[in-house]
Amino acid sequence: MTGTLMDKATGKAVDGATAGATFTPKEESGTVTVTFELDGSKLAGHDLVAFEVLMRGDITVATHEDIEDEGQTVRVVSIGTTATDKADGDHTVAAAKVEVVDVVSYQGLTPGQEYAVTGTLMDRETGKPVTDGSGKPVTAGTSFTPEKADGQVSVTFELDASQLGGRDLVAFEVLTQGKATVATHEDLEDEGQTVHVEEPKVPENPTTPRLLPKTGDDTRLGPFVAAMVASGSGLVALGVWELRRRRRDDGWDGDDPDDGFPHIQRGRVTQTMPDLGQGEEVIP
């Protein structure tokens, strides 16, 4: 059995798309599989039709070559993705709770039929899926029914990237129709699918305490004022105590208003002078 893939639009064979299989049937009726391997990256949106020729030796036994046969036809579908930060549309996100939007471009879908696209965020360094707080992979997806064969659909990932500073996150996408995988885009090196997580910003002097408010600062002044008043009161009390101590050392006990030393009466400082003998000069 020898097969050739034909481009339905041109009616010509696809370059390099041939395959075959040799078999010995055990019964007069049965099936045999022929597998084609090809690069379909440049054939997105094209319909490819398999032509088959059955031979025994050099004799052609049967052929199946119908360019309109839908049973022999496959459509080449391709997808490409562009992942960006939802906040500003660039390829860099903060090390915080963020949203990454992956725009999936498709070619060759069948209008009016339902498809689903499912994405997973991958860590480029480890090659493994990024996980959330519960250890589950960060995924997102949506279902859609295209009106045209070519178009776009968006998938939005929500994640906490606070512990992913410096990492590159790559969006992998799988396009399915029912249970069948139609196309995939899973390339860790694709910059279009990648967003970079910024390193967290560290304060210039994180260990230096901030004691005093600056001009225009909204720091509450109450605690600072209270501390200053308490400090001033303590200094005054210490000064009074020291003055009284020195007076006692000089013989004043603070009780006799006539002992010749200054003391406080009802908020005034008074001086009582002792009697001086006659002829002695008093100097005020």
Q: Is residue 220 included in any domain, yes or no?
A: no
Tokens of 18: 């041939």
Q: Is residue 223 included in any domain, yes or no?
A: no
Give the DSSP letter string of 153-194. EEEEEEEE-TT-TT-EEEEEEEEEETTEEEEEE--TT-GGGE
The count of domains in the chain is: 3
The pLDDT value recorded for residue 152 is 96
| Residues 96 and 171 reside in one and the same domain | yes
Residues contacting 125, CB < 8 A, separation 6+: 167, 168
Residues contacting 270, CB < 8 A, separation 6+: 257, 262, 263
The pLDDT value recorded for residue 227 is 61
3-state secondary structure of 207: coil
Q: Is residue 145 included in any domain, yes or no?
A: yes
| Residues 23 and 47 reside in one and the same domain | yes
Domain edge (last residue) among 27, 45, 75: 75
Q: Is residue 284 included in any domain, yes or no?
A: no
Q: Is residue 173 included in any domain, yes or no?
A: yes
Q: Is residue 107 included in any domain, yes or no?
A: yes
The pLDDT value recorded for residue 2 is 95
| Residues 82 and 165 reside in one and the same domain | yes
Q: Is residue 51 included in any domain, yes or no?
A: yes
The pLDDT value recorded for residue 249 is 61
| Structural domain for 180, as ranges | 78-197
Q: Is residue 208 included in any domain, yes or no?
A: no
The pLDDT value recorded for residue 282 is 46
| CA atoms of 173 and 154, how far apart (whole Å) | 11
Chunked in runs of 10, what are the mean pLDDT values of the chain (284 residues)? Answer: 93 92 93 90 87 94 93 90 94 94 93 96 95 92 95 96 94 94 92 93 63 55 59 59 62 51 48 49 47
Q: What is the CATH number of the domain that holds 192?
A: 2.60.40.3930
| Residues 84 and 180 reside in one and the same domain | yes
